[in-house]
């Protein structure tokens, strides 16, 4: 049901309303939203002041024109974004009912938060707004990802994203045989070569990814606009700052040589943050996965956990099922692994509730 409600980034209102309805049906009193359309349900317990925040994001990176129907086959569910976002959101939405059926006695307060504005230029704004406007920060955060069960994320790299555009002010009808100008594509190619020439250390690990390139209009017309979208990741913030400076300098120099505007728009700047694997929250998470017959996979995250980690809140991201991700109709989840994914979540809530994850 969640999968078939479009929720393009910045347009999540309908999906938020659906989740609030489900929270109310599960008996959560007064589920609420905010100006970001985050959906919040609280399971409060007066026996303790401890709060566990359990979260998943609700937006996806495609609009209503994309077919978002799902296909259910033996032991698998196929569909756009099913494996990454929608399953996690379904687990969060049904958690009140799961807890009631399990008859778990929870002493802690649970905050169930479906966030908006995660993807792209949303830049985790929903999560950031929620945490910045709390009177008291949660004691820990569990972030849910659809896949992969067994994967644990508890640290984030230094990151920045950048859109670079070159733009010529020449007539659109000018054919390339009559033009005395280089094309915008040629300029962007020079920018790419310059960026790839930036020396990066092996340690600390740093990498530039050229994610997308666009430009041109047709065979017989000089391209007036072209752009690239890049992401830079590093284990150290000072290296990220240096790369930002070098990219800005390259864009200015290349633009001046060609007499064209070359503009770099940086966004999504996040600093390296995390907790150590020696933290009780991580040790318990690892032991739970092992007890369920899987070998833990430890990786960095580029998800919403960067926000609570940057605030010093112990945070872990866990997967609900196995499957194959991607923004295609062939993305799928293995339904037979969902049970273990939910058991993992319940066990982690129980251990946190009983103080086993506190330093």
User: What is the tally of structural domains in the chain?
Assistant: 2
Residue 272's pLDDT band, with cuts at 50, 70 and 90, is very high
pLDDT for 336 beyond 90: yes
pLDDT for 242 beyond 80: yes
Answer whether residue 358 is part of any domain: no
**pLDDT value for 187:** 93
Q: 138 and 286 share a domain?
A: yes
Q: 23 and 147 share a domain?
A: yes
Q: 197 and 69 share a domain?
A: no
Residue 177's pLDDT band, with cuts at 50, 70 and 90, is very low
Answer whether residue 332 is part of any domain: yes
pLDDT for 159 beyond 70: yes
- The two tokens of residue 112 are 């169930």
Answer whether residue 326 is part of any domain: yes
Q: Which helix (H) or strand (E) holds 343?
A: helix 338-353
DSSP 277-318: TTSHHHHHHHHHHHHTT---EEEEE-STTHHHHHTT--EEEE
Is the separation of the CB atoms in 54 and 316 below 8 Å? Answer: no
**Mean pLDDT confidence for 191-196:** 96
Single out the residue of 222, 140, 121 nearest to residue 174, CA to CA. Answer: 222
Sign of CA dihedral 320, 355, 130, 304: negative
Tens digit of each residue's pLDDT (9 = 90 or more) over 8-41: 999 999 999 999 999 999 999 999 999 999 999 9
Answer whether residue 2 is part of any domain: no
Answer whether residue 6 is part of any domain: no
Q: 294 and 222 share a domain?
A: no
Q: 280 and 235 share a domain?
A: no
Of the CA atoms within 13 Å of residue 121, those in its CB half-sphere come to 8
Inter-axis angle of helices 13-25 and 87-102, to 10 degrees?
A: 10
**pLDDT value for 260:** 87
Q: 286 and 239 share a domain?
A: no
Answer whether residue 134 is part of any domain: yes
For the chain, the first-to-last Cα distance in angstroms comes to 40
- The two tokens of residue 345 are 């979540």
Q: 127 and 82 share a domain?
A: yes
**Mean pLDDT confidence for 140-166:** 95
Answer whether residue 76 is part of any domain: yes
Give the residue, 83 or 144, on which the prediction is more confident: 144
Range of the domain at 77: 13-156+272-353
Answer whether residue 359 is part of any domain: no
How far apart, in whole angstroms, are the C-alpha atoms of residue 180 and residue 198? 30
Q: 43 and 192 share a domain?
A: no
Domain holding 325: CATH number?
3.40.630.10
Q: How high does pLDDT run on average in the chain?
A: 91
DSSP 97-150: HHHHHHT----SEEEEEEE---SGGGTTHHHHHHHHT-SS--SEEEEEEEE-TT
Tens digit of each residue's pLDDT (9 = 90 or more) over 33-74: 999 999 999 998 866 779 999 999 999 887 777 778 888 888
Q: 91 and 174 share a domain?
A: no
pLDDT for 178 beyond 60: no
Q: 52 and 134 share a domain?
A: yes
Q: Pick from 249, 270, 291: which residue ends a domain?
A: 270
pLDDT for 175 beyond 80: no
Q: 278 and 266 share a domain?
A: no
Residue 295's pLDDT band, with cuts at 50, 70 and 90, is very high
**pLDDT value for 289:** 97
**Mean pLDDT confidence for 238-259:** 95
**Mean pLDDT confidence for 255-261:** 89
Q: 76 and 189 share a domain?
A: no
Residue 230's pLDDT band, with cuts at 50, 70 and 90, is very high
Q: How many residues does the chain have?
A: 359
Q: Pick from 270, 285, 316: which residue ends a domain?
A: 270
Q: Pick from 251, 270, 289: which residue ends a domain?
A: 270
Domain holding 184: CATH number?
3.30.70.360
């Amino acid at each position: 049901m969640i999968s078939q409600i479009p929720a393009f980034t910045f347009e999540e209102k309908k999906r938020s309303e659906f989740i609030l309805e489900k929270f109310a049906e599960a008996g959560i009193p007064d589920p609420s939203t905010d100006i970001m359309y985050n959906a919040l349900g609280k399971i409060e317990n007066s026996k303790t002041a401890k709060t566990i925040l359990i979260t998943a994001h609700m937006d996806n990176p495609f609009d209503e024109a994309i077919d978002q129907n799902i296909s259910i086959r033996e032991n698998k569910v196929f569909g756009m974004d099913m494996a990454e976002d929608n399953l996690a959101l379904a687990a969060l939405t049904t958690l009140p009912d799961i807890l009631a059926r399990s008859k778990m006695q929870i002493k802690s307060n649970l905050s169930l938060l479906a966030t908006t504005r995660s993807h792209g230029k949303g830049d985790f704004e929903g999560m950031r707004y929620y945490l910045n406007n709390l009177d008291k920060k949660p004691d820990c955060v569990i972030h849910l990802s659809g896949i992969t069960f067994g994967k644990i994320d508890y640290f984030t790299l230094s990151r920045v994203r950048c859109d670079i555009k070159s733009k010529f002010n020449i007539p659109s009808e000018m054919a390339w045989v009559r033009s005395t100008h280089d094309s915008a594509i040629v300029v962007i190619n020079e920018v790419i070569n310059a960026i790839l020439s930036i020396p990066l250390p092996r340690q600390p690990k740093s990498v530039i990814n050229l994610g997308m390139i666009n430009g041109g209009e047709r065979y017989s017309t000089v391209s007036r606009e072209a752009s690239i979208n890049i992401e830079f990741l590093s284990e150290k913030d000072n290296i990220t700052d240096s790369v930002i400076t070098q990219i800005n300098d390259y864009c200015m120099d290349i633009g001046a040589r060609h007499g064209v505007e070359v503009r770099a728009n940086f966004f999504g700047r996040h600093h390296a943050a995390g907790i150590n694997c020696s933290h009780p929250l991580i040790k318990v998470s690892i032991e739970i996965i092992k007890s369920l017959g899987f070998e833990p996979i430890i990786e960095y995250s580029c998800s919403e956990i960067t926000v609570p980690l940057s605030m010093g809140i112990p945070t872990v991201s866990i997967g609900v099922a196995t499957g194959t991700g991607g923004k295609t109709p062939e993305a799928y989840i293995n339904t037979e692994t969902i049970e273990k994914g939910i058991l993992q979540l319940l066990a982690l809530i129980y251990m946190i509730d009983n103080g086993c994850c506190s330093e």
